[in-house]
Amino acid sequence: MFNQNQNKFILDNDKALAALLYVLQKVKNLYNIMKVIYFADKEHLSKYGRLIYGETYKAMKSGQVPSRMYDMIKFVRGEGTVFFDNKIKEMFEVKGNDVVAKEKPNVGYLSESDKKVLDKAIDVYGKTHYINLFRKSHKDSAYNETELNQEITLDKIINSLDNKETVKKYLENLYC
């Protein structure tokens, strides 16, 4: 799950799709979806010592963008350069700035802790107005310490946590 040589968690595409479909049950707006995933991931990392599905994030003008999830959405929309199995086009569709599930998530891929932090992030950020969410995401130190269009490193995300020392020690003990 964690590659200590790259200081990254290993991406799980099936779990990423399950997480997206899980969020789509209550959130449709693309911007809100991206922020729900980011803030849920931060909380999961803080509480449980891992990201939900091993996502990497980029610092974009709009804030933190989950790279793999956004690639999936662009693929379904007919854009982008990353290709996925065409079956995902049967699972959700993109209509303007809205993403709409065509299928229910396979929650078997998601742990109870995954669902717990996703539910909390959905409740807090799922319907938050764009400008308020923009302000919140742009106050994040991991985002602010990253050049625009570059990857927000896991170290920066960990350092943005209130319990960063605990998380660092946990990961060192677990994976070293």
For residues 66 and 99, what is the distance between their CA atoms, to the nearest angstrom? 15
Instruction: For residues 79-97, give the mean pLDDT.
Output: 93
**What's the sign of the alpha-carbon dihedral 129, 135, 140, 142?**
positive
Query: Which residues touch 81 (CB under 8 Å, ≥6 apart)?
Result: none
- The answer to whether 42 and 141 are in contact (CB under 8 A) is no
Concatenated DSSP letters for 57-80? EEEETTEEEEHHHHHHHHHHHT-S
Q: Which of 175, 146, 135, 176 is nearest to 50 (CA)?
A: 175
Convert the pLDDT of each residue in 131-168 to its tens digit: 999 999 999 999 999 999 999 999 999 999 999 999 99
pLDDT of 73 higher than 70: yes
Structure tokens at 144: 């602010």
pLDDT tens for residues 91-138? 999 999 999 999 999 999 999 999 999 999 999 999 999 999 999 999
Q: What is the pLDDT of residue 176?
A: 61
Instruction: Give 4's pLDDT tier (boundaries 50, 70, 90).
Output: very low
Query: What share of the chain in percent tops pLDDT 90?
Result: 88
| pLDDT interval class at 9 (50, 70, 90) | confident
Sign of CA dihedral 30, 18, 114, 43: negative
Assessment of whether the complete model's pTM goes beyond 0.95: no
Residue corresponding to tokens 């350069």: 81
User: Which tokens sit at 170?
Assistant: 């946990």
